[in-house]
């Protein structure tokens, strides 16, 4: 049953009818409310503002559904303002688009809006919608000083909005679907989209931090971003796999290309698969982490971004009457340092990744130089 109300657009000086949450919509459970609370508090901290809000629109009011747990936040849950006053959020819902107000005190149209009384003079907000287009409310951040948000920040707010809307979609599906098989399929889809959105958020945060960092710190951040992208790609490949089996060979190639793309380089990638690597998807993430790490190490150790080459060879070998896989990763860079080869170099997160990989597959690893760095794995078949 469609339910409507009116909002007032302050700049247009007009009322407009909008669809809102009706009695046909499910009540949000406690786990979603807890998750949303973490999301809005995290958003406020990242944007470095006193107030982050998830607002809900009702027939008569714009109500604070959740408020960030941040210092200096003047808004309380269940607080509300009557519709028709030309609130920031009314314009967001009425226009169904992003609204950014840098400084309402310096804007004749916005200088007397109700939030100014709380000294909240800057605003950035987006609408939150149910799957059928009805308005739940808004997600917004407010500050007591002039703010101008660049595209990275507006994209980040969009990612947070998508997380909230994914929860609304899930609640509708859970209410309407009773077929177990269909529900399981939809839950898998939901998990994939949630993970994808969360990685987008993390990647955006990383990029924001990178833009403000010095060169040494920026190099570390770029390594982190490469790892994040490989994991995000992992979940995409798993979701595409209909029978819960994935082509490891194809996945390795995709991960290497994704990691290489971080550096905006022309590094050539060649995969030579002389046998098929097909593992259950519960193991596939191991390969994503390892090959992302190998690419990061290649570039960090001096692989040319202009004429560099990465070559992966996959073979089946017989060792002590046991069939195993041999995977060789090689580049044409300057090769491993003496400290790396004799084991006296600094051990970091990468070392832990390799140790975990070898433990999982009961494998061995050999590193040596041969016209570049070569890493050779011998692993058992699962």
Listing DSSP states for 291-307 in one string gives HHHHHHHHHHTT--TTT
Q: Are 233 and 266 in contact (CB under 8 A)?
A: no
277 vs 57, residue with greater confidence? 57
**Domains of the chain, first to last:** 3-149 (3.30.450.40), 242-380 (3.30.565.10)
Question: For 245-264, how does the pLDDT look when each residue is reduced to its tens digit (9 = 90+)?
Answer: 457 788 788 888 877 876 66
* Collapsed DSSP state (helix, strand, coil) of residue 157: helix
Given a cut of 60, is residue 194 above it in pLDDT?
no
> What is the model's pLDDT at position 259?
75
Question: For 32-75, how does the pLDDT look when each residue is reduced to its tens digit (9 = 90+)?
Answer: 899 899 999 999 999 999 999 999 999 999 999 999 999 999 99
Q: How many whole angstroms separate alpha carbon 259 and alpha carbon 264?
A: 10
Q: How many whole angstroms separate alpha carbon 336 and alpha carbon 207?
A: 29
Taking alpha carbons only, the member of 13, 14, 120, 4 closest to residue 60 is 4
> What is the model's pLDDT at position 2?
78
Taking alpha carbons only, the member of 159, 136, 168 closest to residue 57 is 136
Given a cut of 70, is residue 202 above it in pLDDT?
no
Q: Are 77 and 122 in contact (CB under 8 A)?
A: no
Question: For 296-355, how does the pLDDT look when each residue is reduced to its tens digit (9 = 90+)?
Answer: 888 888 888 778 999 999 998 888 788 899 999 999 999 988 877 776 554 555 676 788
> What is the model's pLDDT at position 295?
87
299: Cα separation from own chain's centroid: 24
Taking alpha carbons only, the member of 339, 343, 331 closest to residue 373 is 331
Instruction: Indicate the DSSP class of residue 244.
Output: S
Residues 6+ apart with CB under 8 A from 278: 245, 246, 247, 248
Q: How many whole angstroms separate alpha carbon 184 and alpha carbon 105?
A: 51
Given a cut of 90, is residue 13 above it in pLDDT?
yes
Phi and psi for 181 in degrees, rounded to 5? -65, -45
The rounded mean pLDDT for the chain is 83
Taking alpha carbons only, the member of 206, 202, 234 closest to residue 220 is 206
Mean pLDDT of 103-112: 95
Mean pLDDT of 10-37: 92
Q: CA-based angle 166:83:54, to the nearest 5?
A: 30
Residue count (the chain): 382
Instruction: Indicate the DSSP class of residue 378.
Output: E
Sign of the CA dihedral 151, 153, 154, 159?
positive
Given a cut of 60, is residue 188 above it in pLDDT?
no
Taking alpha carbons only, the member of 104, 119, 375 closest to residue 256 is 375
Query: Dmax over Cα atoms in the chain, in whole Å?
Result: 83
Instruction: Indicate the DSSP class of residue 274.
Output: S
**Stretch (H or E) spanning 33:** helix 30-47
Given a cut of 80, is residue 85 above it in pLDDT?
yes
Question: For 125-134, how does the pLDDT look when each residue is reduced to its tens digit (9 = 90+)?
Answer: 999 999 999 9
Instruction: Indicate the DSSP class of residue 246.
Output: E
235: Cα separation from own chain's centroid: 12
Name the β-bridge partners of 9. Answer: 14
- Percentage of the chain exceeding pLDDT 90: 50
Question: For 209-246, how does the pLDDT look when each residue is reduced to its tens digit (9 = 90+)?
Answer: 555 656 655 665 665 666 566 566 655 655 555 444 45
Laid out side by side, the sheet with 364-369 consists of: 268-273, 309-319, 322-331, 373-380, 364-369
Q: How many whole angstroms separate alpha carbon 333 and alpha carbon 34?
A: 49
Given a cut of 90, is residue 157 above it in pLDDT?
yes
Q: CA-based angle 285:289:290, to the nearest 5?
A: 115
Q: How many whole angstroms separate alpha carbon 231 and alpha carbon 349?
A: 15
According to the 3-state scheme, what is the secondary structure of 177-197? CCCHHHHHHHHHHHHHHHHHH
**Stretch (H or E) spanning 280:** strand 278-280
Given a cut of 50, is residue 178 above it in pLDDT?
no
Q: CA-based angle 235:35:56, to the nearest 5?
A: 120
């Amino acid at each position: 049953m469609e339910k409507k109300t009116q909002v007032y657009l302050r700049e247009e000086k007009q009322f407009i009818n909008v669809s809102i949450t009706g009695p046909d919509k499910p009540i949000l459970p406690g786990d979603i409310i807890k998750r949303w609370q973490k999301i809005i508090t995290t958003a406020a901290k990242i944007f470095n503002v006193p107030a982050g809000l998830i607002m809900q629109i009702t027939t008569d009011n714009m109500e604070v559904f959740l408020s960030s747990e941040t210092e200096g936040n003047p808004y309380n849950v269940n607080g509300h303002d009557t519709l028709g006053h030309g609130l920031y959020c009314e314009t967001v819902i009425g226009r169904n688009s992003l609204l950014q107000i840098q400084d309402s005190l310096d804007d004749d149209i916005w200088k007397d809006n109700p939030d100014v009384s709380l000294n909240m003079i800057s605003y950035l907000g987006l609408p939150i919608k149910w799957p059928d287009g009805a308005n739940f409310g808004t997600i917004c951040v407010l500050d007591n000083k002039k703010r101008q948000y660049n595209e990275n920040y507006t994209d980040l707010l969009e990612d947070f909005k998508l997380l909230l809307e994914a929860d609304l979609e899930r609640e509708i599906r859970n209410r309407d679907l009773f077929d177990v098989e269909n529900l399981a399929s939809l839950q898998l889809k939901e998990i994939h989209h949630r993970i994808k959105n969360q990685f987008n958020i993390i990647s955006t945060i990383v990029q924001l931090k990178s833009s403000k960092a010095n060169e040494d710190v920026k190099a570390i951040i770029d390594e982190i971003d490469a790892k994040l992208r490989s994991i995000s790609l992992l979940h995409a490949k798993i979701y595409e796999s209909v029978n819960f089996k994935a082509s490891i060979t194809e996945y390795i190639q995709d991960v290497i290309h994704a990691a290489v793309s971080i550096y905006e380089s022309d590094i050539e990638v060649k995969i030579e698969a002389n046998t098929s690597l097909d593992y259950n998807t519960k193991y596939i993430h191991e390969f994503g982490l390892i090959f992302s790490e190998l690419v990061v190490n290649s570039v960090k150790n001096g692989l040319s971004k202009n004429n560099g080459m990465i070559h992966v060879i996959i073979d089946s070998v017989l060792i002590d009457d046991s069939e195993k896989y041999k995977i060789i990763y090689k580049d044409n860079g300057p090769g491993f340092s003496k400290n790396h080869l004799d084991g006296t170099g600094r051990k970091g997160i990468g070392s832990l990744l390799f140790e975990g990989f070898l433990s999982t597959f009961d494998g061995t690893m050999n590193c040596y130089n041969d016209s570049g760095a070569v890493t050779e794995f011998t692993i058992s078949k699962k």
